[in-house]
Amino acid sequence: MVEKPPLRVIAVANSKGGVGKTTTSLNIAGELANRGYQVLLIDLDPQGNATAALTQEELSTTTGQVLVAGGGLLDAVVPTTMGTLWLLGTGPELRAYAKQLPEQREDYRNVLRDILAAEAGGFDYAILDCPPSLDTETLLALCAAGFYVVPSRPERFSLDGVKRLVGLADRVQEAMNPSLQLLGVFFTQFNSNKPSRLHQDIVAAAAQLFPGQILPAVRDNQALGTAQRLAIPAQLHAPEAAGVLDYRALTDDLISALESHLTTTT
């Protein structure tokens, strides 16, 4: 009997907003699910955009409640229109729940890690959609994840957000989660046909900061936003749209990078 591989947990994070974290989380999760993997997307952003993009149903249990309870994950997840993609959704109340955690348990940073280890064994991947901050929710994700990926717009302030996030991840790796690995940085809303000089300079700067870790860029594509408004994974809504094809290529590279890390550490 072939043993099932362990759950692979990937955090999608950047301290800067508007860089495509949720779109990336949705489309990496959707692409993996479209390939037949059992995928759990966990919405850790109080804005709840990933939740709204996958379901129009009212949730009876949310991410914050599961975190505070220290369990109940499988009772809280809901199916999506893609049969192998599942959602642990959230809303604005997550921020209040997150603030309760340090008061409840000394090792609160590990609560999500412990929940996934105990209850998520039936999934192949868990994708963690982080908020545009370095607050508790992002810390929980980095402590739970084996890997993280950082989307960025080809702009200076977005790249500054990448540097802040990677700095936090380095501290988490050193003190709390030694297995945490950066899978790569990539650019969203990218115009490869007519890149501005600023775009070129930012990409060059990123390549110097993160040598060998720049992943394929994703073009701006209206179909991705339309799919989110319809609460349908883009892989089902517009499978041949430019953005979907770009995320398909990005997922290929993520899987390759992930397998390379796993091979190196075993």
**Distance in angstroms (rounded) separating the CA atoms of residues 4 and 163:** 35
Secondary structure E strands in 130-258: 147-152, 181-187
In eight-state DSSP terms, residue 221 is -
**Distance in angstroms (rounded) separating the CA atoms of residues 243 and 35:** 17
In a domain, residue 84? The reply is yes
- Report the domain count for the chain: 1
In a domain, residue 3? The reply is no
**Distance in angstroms (rounded) separating the CA atoms of residues 26 and 251:** 12
**Distance in angstroms (rounded) separating the CA atoms of residues 114 and 143:** 10
| pLDDT score recorded for residue 202 | 86
| pLDDT score recorded for residue 217 | 87
In a domain, residue 1? The reply is no
In a domain, residue 253? The reply is yes
In a domain, residue 37? The reply is yes
In a domain, residue 2? The reply is no
**Distance in angstroms (rounded) separating the CA atoms of residues 123 and 77:** 12
What confidence tens digit (pLDDT) does each residue in 102-147 have? 999 999 999 999 999 999 999 999 999 999 999 999 999 999 999 9
| pLDDT score recorded for residue 140 | 98
**197-209 vs 156-175: helix axis angle to the nearest 10?**
10
Residue with tokens 């982080």: 130
What confidence tens digit (pLDDT) does each residue in 6-19 have? 999 999 999 999 89
Is 97 in contact with 65 (CB distance < 8 Å)? yes
- Angle 209-210-212 from CA coordinates, rounded to 5°: 140
| pLDDT score recorded for residue 246 | 94
Strands of the 8-12 sheet, one edge to the other: 78-79, 85-88, 39-43, 125-129, 8-12, 147-152, 181-187
H/E stretch holding 248: helix 242-265
In a domain, residue 162? The reply is yes
Domain at 86, CATH number: 3.40.50.300
**Distance in angstroms (rounded) separating the CA atoms of residues 136 and 128:** 13
- Residue range of the domain that includes 176: 8-265
Per-residue pLDDT tens digits of the chain, which is 266 residues long: 556 789 999 999 999 998 999 999 999 999 999 999 999 999 999 999 999 999 988 999 999 999 999 999 999 999 999 999 999 999 999 999 999 999 999 999 999 999 999 999 999 999 999 999 999 999 999 999 999 999 998 888 888 889 999 999 999 999 999 999 999 999 988 776 666 777 788 888 999 999 999 998 898 889 999 999 999 999 999 999 999 999 999 999 999 989 888 777 65
How far, CA to CA in Å, does 108 sit from each of 24, 39, 46, 116, 137?
A: 27, 25, 18, 14, 11
